[in-house]
Amino acid sequence: MLTEPTRPTEAERAPAVVVSQPYWRVRLSLAWRGLRRTWALFRQNSVGMIGLGIILLFLLGAIAHPILMATVWDPAVYHPVHGYDAVVIEKEVVEEVTDELTQIEVNEARLRTDPFVQVGDTLRMPQQPAPPSLRGEHPHLLGTDPQGRDILSQLLYSIRAAFILGALAAVMSVVVATTVGSVAAYFGGRTDSVLMRFSDLILLLPILPVLIVIGAYFQMNMPILAVTIGLFEGFGATAIVLKSQALQVSVKPFIDAARVAGGGHAHIIFRHLVPNVMPLSLLYMMFGVAGAIALESVLSFLGLLDIEMSWGVMLNVAQRQGYLLSGTRYWWLLFPAGLAVTFLAFAFFLVGRGMDEVINPRLRSR
Amino acid sequence: MAGVFFVFLTLLFTLLHAMPGDITNNLIGNPNIPASAREQLRQELGLDLPLWQQYLRYITNFFRGNLGMSFSRAPNSVASILADAIPRTVFLIASATILAYWLGFKTGKIVAWRRGSRSEHVLVTAGVFFQTVFYPWFAIVMLWLFGLILGWFPLGRFITSSLWNATPFTPREMFTWMILSAVAALAVYAAATMVIRRITRRPTTRATAQRVAGGAVVAVLVAAWWASPARVYAADIVHHTILPVITLAIVNYAAVMLLTRSSMLETMKEDYILTARAKGLDEKTIRDRHAARNALLPVTTSMVLALATVVGGAIVTETIFSWPGVGLLILDGITMNDTPLVMGGLAIIGVLALIGHLVADVLYAVLDPRIRLA
């Protein structure tokens, strides 16, 4: 006679894992622990830390600008776009000019000021661009540009826009690329080939000429540019790289397990695939920030953007006013802006390399 | 590939027609041109046709080599203007790329092998700096330093116009001959390499023989130009060429060097390197014949991705150095509102990028047998 199967009593049952906390707190603490572990690894990486240090310095500058404008700097003089300061410099009247900044040719002096000026006189004359000085009522630490605006103020003011542009473009590109890559890798087949052919097409288009032409025919401002760059990078190279990473993840057993457990496509992609592609995505985000800032600067250097002030615009002003090859004589027109773009891109690149070594253990020296 | 290019052309066409109004809008401001004349112009230009017919015309004309007339350089067709500019841009891109990849790979593998040394740190820092340097600014500094301060190279442009006033040659013919001779020399060198490979199997002998062959080819090439009557003009072009090529190459070199280094670092941890060590091979053989060969693959793949950067860099180079190539034409066209020139130039850039992709793909298949079998 068949005995009725007895249900296990409460005591016989395997002890269930008791989760006393709500799930979101468990997830949060896990994420926090992962973050701290990553940070510990990243901190050992001197290259990445140097990059982070430079980025923090730039951030400080970005914060300092509005504070300085509100306290010490008179907006009428120091405003990066509309400010003006008529700097007056003492110039010696000479026959032959050897130094444009401190000397003036006698005939030119007669034309511009007093017709009875003699060689050897000293004249007080307005000078634009003015060299860096600490003296005077309005000191200009990095001098002024050809339109009498403070270079340091422009330099600091441009940081914020550069950060916003870089971050917006990079986030945009990574969100698009991660989604496209994961979807292509997960579904495969026709979806994959359509998306990847599209990536090939984007890859075929050299981004700078395309942006030049778009910039020539349409008014492009910062947000539109950021979104354009983001979409371009996101559907192009980054999507291909992230797809190959997602492909490696998508054949792992836990994806099959999730499918067997009844997970839907969206659930598997966004809960299981994307988190495992994420580290690489973040890495490409760092490189994306550097790329976007460089692109913006090139375009505004060529004068194709509808932007009032950025590092590229500063160089564009110097170029339009004919100081392009002035080199070290008017160094404050060329070097601060050029080096600012370079160092910010440099910093993001270093952070990216640091993260690369955290993500990819084979690159570590130990 | 061909399909991709088709889509590219369609995109160009769409971009052109996404603008409000058409080209005859430029005449609105002129009171001497009546509306009927504008309408007539629209008909002559085919702008009154439905969009799909215009599109069909555009595509068929493009493949017939008819890129329209330039507005700013009126009697010339876009195709004839571009025919002058294309070899210059191709030369700029190709020579900078070849220089960058050749030197970058050579130094990259050595840098990786010397991991942890002082020279590695210096080279890597310099490499990262040059890879992320703000390129237009860097080009300006190079032009200022070598053109103005040191005076080694001319301040931009392609030729010294005064020199070419009384010559039977045009710069275009001259440049074509120069490129052809260089390509011929390369072909001879490649043939010599193959012959050497047949004759001897010892790596050191091979290397020496190849170096001798390379030196001989370069010597013959230079001697031939030296003896020719066009010596001065060829030298003039070369003199103008060096600085832009070097400037573009340095930035690409840094990227290739860093990539080779990280690719080498990955390869160096493979088991077959350990095997090679255990066999007792010398370090140089392990580095060059075991590690570097495999490290070359990701570097070649990067060529495809780097192509867009090189093309963009070439455009900036052309602007700074007033190098009359396709990029400068596009920018000039933009300032002059010369739409056919801009569109033609951009299409040519697309064709160049397409050819570049093809070359990189073929190279990859040559290097990696697994691709060929698949």
Question: For the CA atoms of A306, A307, A308, A313, what is the dihedral angle to 10 degrees?
Answer: -110
Domain around A117? 88-126
CB pair distance less than 8 Å for A204 and B137: no
User: Measured between alpha carbons, how far is residue A222 from residues A226, A227, A308, B266, B368 in Å?
Assistant: 6, 9, 10, 39, 43
| CA-based nearest distance A44→chain B, Å | 15
For the residues of B176-237, what is the DSSP string, one character each?
HHHHHHHHHHHHHHHHHHHHHHHH---HHHHHHHHHHHHHHHHHHHHHHHHHSTTHHHHHHH
Report whether pLDDT(A13) > 50: yes
**Residue A168 falls within a domain, yes or no?**
yes
| CA-based nearest distance B43→chain A, Å | 24
| CA-based nearest distance A168→chain B, Å | 19
Domain ranges of chain B: 2-62, 82-169+230-373, 173-228
What average pLDDT does range B207-217 have in this prediction? 88
Residues A145 and A151: their CA atoms lie apart, in Å, by 6
Tell whether A300 and A202 lie within a shared domain: yes
**Residue A244 falls within a domain, yes or no?**
yes
Tell whether A111 and A167 lie within a shared domain: no
Residues B330 and B345: their CA atoms lie apart, in Å, by 6
Nearest CA in chain A to B335: A216
Q: Which residue has the higher pLDDT, B79 or A326?
A: B79
CB A91 within 8 A of CB A82: no
Nearest CA in chain A to B255: A349
Cβ-based neighbour number of residue A35 at 10 Å: 10
CB pair distance less than 8 Å for B137 and A334: yes
Tokens of B215: 């030196």
Tell whether A114 and A223 lie within a shared domain: no
Interface test with A, best of B23, B26, B82, B137 (most A CBs within 10 A): B137
Tell whether A180 and A259 lie within a shared domain: yes
Chain A residue numbers touching B133 (CB-CB < 8 A): 342, 345-346
Share of chain B above pLDDT 70, in %: 96
Q: Residues A67-122: pLDDT tens digits?
A: 988 888 888 888 888 878 777 777 788 888 777 777 878 887 788 777 788 887 77
Q: Residues B40-90: pLDDT tens digits?
A: 888 887 777 888 888 888 888 888 888 888 877 778 888 888 888 888 888
What average pLDDT does range B82-105 have in this prediction? 89
**Residue A14 falls within a domain, yes or no?**
no
Q: Residue A298: which of B136, B311, B342 has the nearest Cβ?
A: B136
Q: Residue A207: which of B129, B308, B357 has the nearest Cβ?
A: B308
CB pair distance less than 8 Å for B319 and A302: yes
Tell whether A93 and A238 lie within a shared domain: no
CB pair distance less than 8 Å for A337 and B262: no
The count of structural domains within chain A is: 2
Q: How far is CA A210 from the centre of its chain?
A: 20
- Name the amino acid, one letter, at B313: G
Residues A20 and B65: their CA atoms lie apart, in Å, by 74
Question: For the CA atoms of A51, A57, A58, A61, what is the dihedral angle to 10 degrees?
Answer: 180
Q: Say how many residues make up chain B.
A: 374
Chain B residue numbers touching A341 (CB-CB < 8 A): 134, 137
Cis omega (within 30 of 0) on the bond before B31?
Answer: no
Residues B221 and A213: their CA atoms lie apart, in Å, by 41
CB pair distance less than 8 Å for B140 and A301: no
The continuous run of DSSP H or E covering A92 comes out as strand A88-94
CB pair distance less than 8 Å for A363 and B8: no
CB pair distance less than 8 Å for A205 and B144: no
Report whether pLDDT(A365) > 60: no
Q: Residue A342: which of B132, B143, B144 has the nearest Cβ?
A: B132
Report whether pLDDT(A62) > 60: yes
Interface test with A, best of B9, B72, B132, B315 (most A CBs within 10 A): B132
Chain A residue numbers touching B308 (CB-CB < 8 A): 203, 205-208
CB pair distance less than 8 Å for B134 and A346: no
| CA-based nearest distance A325→chain B, Å | 5
For the residues of A93-159, what is the DSSP string, one character each?
EESS-S-TTTEEEHHHHHHHS-TT--TT-EEEEE-SSPPPBS-SSS-BTT-B-TTS-BHHHHHHHHH
Tokens of A275: 């988190």
Tell whether A174 and A62 lie within a shared domain: yes
Cβ-based neighbour number of residue A231 at 10 Å: 15
pLDDT tier for residue B374 given thresholds of 50, 70 and 90? very low
Report whether pLDDT(A40) > 70: yes
Tell whether A117 and A176 lie within a shared domain: no
CB pair distance less than 8 Å for B311 and A209: yes
Average pLDDT of chain A to the nearest whole number: 83
Tokens of A26: 């468990």
CATH superfamily membership of B82-169+230-373: MetI-like (1.10.3720.10)
Residues B70 and B55: their CA atoms lie apart, in Å, by 19
Tell whether A160 and A122 lie within a shared domain: no
**Residue A159 falls within a domain, yes or no?**
yes
| CA-based nearest distance B252→chain A, Å | 15
ipTM for the complex?
A: 0.82
Least confident of A84-98, A248-262, A326-340: A84-98
CB pair distance less than 8 Å for A204 and B354: yes
Residues B87 and B326: their CA atoms lie apart, in Å, by 9
CB pair distance less than 8 Å for B269 and A362: yes
Q: Residue A346: which of B5, B132, B149 has the nearest Cβ?
A: B132
Residues B333 and A124: their CA atoms lie apart, in Å, by 45
Nearest CA in chain A to B258: A353
Report whether pLDDT(A324) > 50: yes
pLDDT tier for residue A2 given thresholds of 50, 70 and 90? low
Tell whether A101 and A234 lie within a shared domain: no
pLDDT tier for residue B5 given thresholds of 50, 70 and 90? confident
pTM listed for this prediction? 0.84
Q: Residues B171-210: pLDDT tens digits?
A: 788 888 888 888 898 899 989 888 888 888 787 888 888 8
